[in-house]
Chains A and B, each alone.
Chain A
Amino acid sequence: MTDEAARLWRIYQTNIASGRQFSLRDWGLPIGESQWSGLVSSEAASGREVVDALLARWEQQSGARAPGKEGAMSDEQKLVTLGLEMLDAANRRVDERLFGILDGGFPINFQHPRFLETAAHVVCSKSDNATTIRRLLSRPEIDLLLRDQFGRQPWNNAQYFGVEPDLVEFITAQTLDQANAQGILEQFHAENKRYLAEWIHEEWFFHLARRNPGLLEPSEPS
């Protein structure tokens, strides 16, 4: 286990202890329990087989990096590490690694232990990323209503971090459809308004304008 993973693991445990985040155990582990099957790709085998495959993948990827240490980790720890790798792949735009882990049955809605970001948050915060965004959002299990530590949903990231307008509208429409399907559209709008009132005072909210002062320019005379 790398130092970074060990550090995040401690934070993850703290989050769980403080009730801020669900653990993988809450999501369906210990292995083989029924909830797990609801979190994995429908094409993949459910239960123990999926977890075994994911653990084998983890052994293959991480065992080589930290030989001898993997034995001390619980299965849950290993899966969190694999989740971090998935988010890292999303951040670095390494689609092969990202979708490889997902195709292995890893929960697509895994949240970063500290930042609470999902893969959707990460890919939706990057411009020129249309193919990956559409590919990820085409997966039926994806939950676009999960919030990161600031309360942002993926469509918020798309809007605030410079994703192309057409794509922002695509992500937004899909998010609204999910809220509508769950019968929480009104609550969704109320929460969004409440969060927005906080965000307009946050530094990250002005990310685009700060990076690019020429972004906003006066209209040409009509």
Chain B
Amino acid sequence: MEVGAQEPQRYDAVVYQRLRHILMSYRVGWGGGGNKMYGWEDLVADIEAATGTLVPRRRLEAFVRGIRKGQSGGSAGEQRYAIPEPDRVEGIIRFLSDPDSDGYFCDRSQLLAPIKLQAPFFLQESFGRVNDAESYFEASLPESEAINYLCDESVLHLMVLIGNRARLIDLVDHPGEDKDPEIYSGWLAFSPEELGLIALQHERTGANRVCFVLGVDALIYEGDPPRSLVLLEADYPVDTKSTATLAQARSLSNHVTGGLPARMKLFTRGLDSSETDSL
């Protein structure tokens, strides 16, 4: 590198994911004017023509389309995406952010902007100040944990896997049915009385689930990750009338109390199935 030249910057996963997906859509979409024959070589040529940076086809394809790693025998291997060298990444960023480039997509600042953290509606409406919590998201969360969290004062950011991988003890939700993990992320906020309230949002659909915390490991107060959470899921709103009869009131009461077992959730992590089975 020349003396005084600026060292190419490295970015976090958010930026690389953005670049990948935009390039993918460019290749199958508006790149080449929607021409079906527009291929990887054309994309390589367009990037080089606009920026002077050559990103070899194999490098570009390994970044955008991905490669299979660990392929052996009958195993298909794991999909991975290889990030090109920093100077080539800079070329791609210029290609997508230079208004004079054919690949112009948006301003550089937009391409590199940090992710916006979105609290579920319930918390947004109930706790308007959680916007400050954006910085909590910056640390990377350990992938292998069923319950990921980041704690600062009274707010936790959670990422919860519901399903087999999270070893969720769900008392009624189709026991025994082998279903995919459903991924929710969201917030756990503690009230001054230390009542915990969790608002989770399903990652794909955006569906909300709201839970109260009934129990949590004492470890959490020592700064260690909790091993388990016992939650009571808030029930869906029930239609009530101010002039409800006694029978209707009893019906509501029965509805609320009768549904309690179904709404009790136990999230654990780091336990094997023999341990969770006994819980």
Interface of A with B (CB < 8 Å)?
A: 3-4, 7, 91-93, 112, 114-115, 117, 125-126, 148-150, 157, 159-162, 164-165, 169, 172, 176, 185-186, 189-190, 192-193, 196-197, 199-220, 222
User: Measured between alpha carbons, how far is A126 from B235 in the docked complex, in Å?
Assistant: 28
User: Measured between alpha carbons, how far is A201 from B105 in the docked complex, in Å?
Assistant: 14
Main secondary structure of the interface of A (DSSP, over half): helix
User: Measured between alpha carbons, how far is A18 from B30 in the docked complex, in Å?
Assistant: 33
* B116-A209 in contact (CB<8A): no
List 3 A-B pairs, minimum CB-CB distance, nearest first.
A209-B13, A219-B82, A115-B205
Could you say which residues of chain A place their CB within 8 Å of the CB of B143? Answer: 211-214
Known: A93-B180, A200-B110, A203-B117. A217 touches B30 (CB 8 A): no
Number of interface residues of B (CB under 8 A): 55
**B247 contacts A by Cβ under 8 Å:** no
* B82-A164 in contact (CB<8A): no
Give the A-B pair count, Cβ closer than 8 A: 138
User: Measured between alpha carbons, how far is A201 from B159 in the docked complex, in Å?
Assistant: 18
* B84-A219 in contact (CB<8A): yes
* B204-A125 in contact (CB<8A): yes
What are 30 contact pairs spanning A and B, CB under 8 A? A7-B237, A112-B205, A117-B205, A148-B205, A159-B25, A164-B76, A164-B79, A172-B28, A192-B30, A193-B25, A193-B29, A199-B21, A200-B21, A200-B22, A201-B110, A201-B115, A201-B116, A203-B115, A203-B116, A203-B118, A207-B203, A209-B14, A209-B16, A210-B185, A212-B143, A215-B13, A215-B79, A215-B80, A217-B82, A219-B82
Known: A196-B21, A203-B115. A189 touches B83 (CB 8 A): no
